Structure formats: C-alpha cells, structure tokens
Structure 1
Amino acid sequence: MAATVKYDEVETGQEIPAVEYQVRRVDLVRYAGASGDFNPIHWNERYAKAVGLPDVIAHGMYTMAQGGRFVTDWAGDPGAVVEYGVRFSSMVVVPDDDNGATITISGVVEDKREDKRVVVALTARSGDARVLSKARAVVQLS
C-alpha cells in the first residue's frame, strides 16, 4: 500500500498521475463469480456479438471498481473514500487475447474542504473512449 496522503500535502488543481489497469477475460470471469453477475455479454464472445455488441464487454461495476482502486491506492487508505459515484459513458471492450483491454485512470483534486476532505475528479478511458463520466470521490485525509 502507498504512503497515506496528508491533507496538508494536497492542493486544489493537483493532478494525480494516470495508472493503467489491464482487463482480461479471466478478470471478468472472476468478477462474475464475486458479484454473481454471469450475464454472458461479459464472457461469451458469440453471445455478445449476437446481441449487437462489438465483443465481450467489462461489467460496468468492474470498471467503476477500478476507479475506486485508483483513489484508494492514491490515498493510501481504503477507508478514506467516504463518497464515490460515476456515470457509465462507454463500454470497455475486452478482446480475447493476452493483452485484453486497458483502462487508464487519472485524477485531479477538484476541491479541498476545511473538514480535511478533498474531492477527486477522475478521468477513465479505454482506447479512445471515456468510459466513466462525472466520476467523483470524496476522500477523508489525515
């Protein structure tokens, strides 16, 4: 785990460097088992294409979880996130190869509140598509 970020070390407008998260089909199968969401669009290429998708797609909640992971890794404390919300704006298409797909997430400290909380705005992309919009986390710092 990263060192815990301190409130006094953070400034409004501060950029949080991008991190890349690989998504392979095996990750989606594992997530399906953990979440109970076994919709075949998340693991069966033939079915996904039959319903009009370009290929297998990642679960929206899996994609959202990568944003949460980004923030907790940055904060250095998984319990620091007190609010988190996103809108799903595009799919993460996961080809059946060794590389799968990549979700690239970056952030910026949008607001620094007096209660030692900061608002982090996230940008999440896969390929040319922005996959999460209005992604914000409120983080309690020490």
Structure 2
Amino acid sequence: MYEVGTQLPERTFRVTRADLVRYAGASGDFNPIHWSDRVAAEVGLPSVIAHGMLTMALAARAVTDWVGDPGAMVAYTAKFTRPVPVPDDEDGAELGVSAVVKKVDGDQAQIDITVVFEGERVLGAARATVRTS
C-alpha cells in the first residue's frame, strides 16, 4: 500500500453555496467573499469563492479515506494558488483530487496531493505525511 509511486484513487468533490454556509458556521469564517457576490465583485473576484481551508480539508479527506484513519495524518501543508468560484446553482464547483505516494521513510509516508478546478491547480505544494503503521 505504501510504495513510492502508488497513485491514490482520484476523487471528485462538489462544493455548493450551501456547503459554504455550513462551513462558515462550523469554522466561524463569515468573510463576505464566501457568501456575497457584491462583496466578491468589489474585491475583484469572479464570484463568491470557497473557503481555502475547506478546499484543503477536502483534499485531506481524499488522503485519510485512502489511509483509513484520519488520525494517521501527522502533517499537512499547502499553499492557496487560485480561488475556487462557487456558482449560485445546485451543481456548485467541482474539485478533482489526485495524489501519489512520493516517499516512504520508516513508519511514515509523504503523499503529494494535486487539487484542480477547471483544469488548473488551486493548491500548490500540497503534501501530507501519514503514519504507515
């Protein structure tokens, strides 16, 4: 399972405006760029955007689901490289998540994660370290 080059199953996640409301309530992040088209436009965004930490969480979920234990993730980093506009419809935005085991060292594995929206990466240098035992 933890061999260098192992590809994790690709995952697709949909993020809707309803998801943004739920995430705002859970996180306490009520920044209006995540719910007001007017404010998003005023600051130069194409529309309301997903919370960056929500995007990161979905990518982490793809890894922890594969590992089988959320507690096995011991480190996780990423940079936000592109916003994810979320349309005001039932479909929302679609994120594609892929990952590969990049390194295995003792009882830990490094997993490099790619998250794309409309064919472009939205997280840079996304990397998780998981316990292998």
Fold conserved between structures, TM > 0.5: yes
Count of aligned pairs: 133
The TM-score, its normalising length taken from structure 1, stands at 0.90
Q: CA deviation at 1:126?
A: 0.8
**Which residue is equivalent to 1:3?**
none
- 1:31-78: CA deviation from partner (whole Å, max 9, x where unpaired): 111111101110111221122110000011111111111111110001
Structure 1: runs of 5 or more not aligned? 1-8
Find 1:138's aligned residue among 114, 129, 132: 129
How far apart are residue 10 of structure 1 and its match? 2.1
Q: Out of 31, 36, 39, which is 1:39 matched to? A: 31
Amino-acid identity (%): 52
Q: Which moved more, 1:33-42 or 1:44-53?
A: 44-53
Root-mean-square deviation (CA, aligned residues, Å) is 0.9
Find the counterpart in structure 2 of residue 127 from structure 1: 118
- 2-side partners of 1:51 and 1:85: how far apart? 27
Deviation at 1:96, TM superposition (A): 0.6
String of CA shifts for 1:98-131, please: whole Å, max 9, x gaps.
Answer: 10001111100000112x2100000000112200
- Quote how far apart the aligned CAs of 1:141 are: 1.6
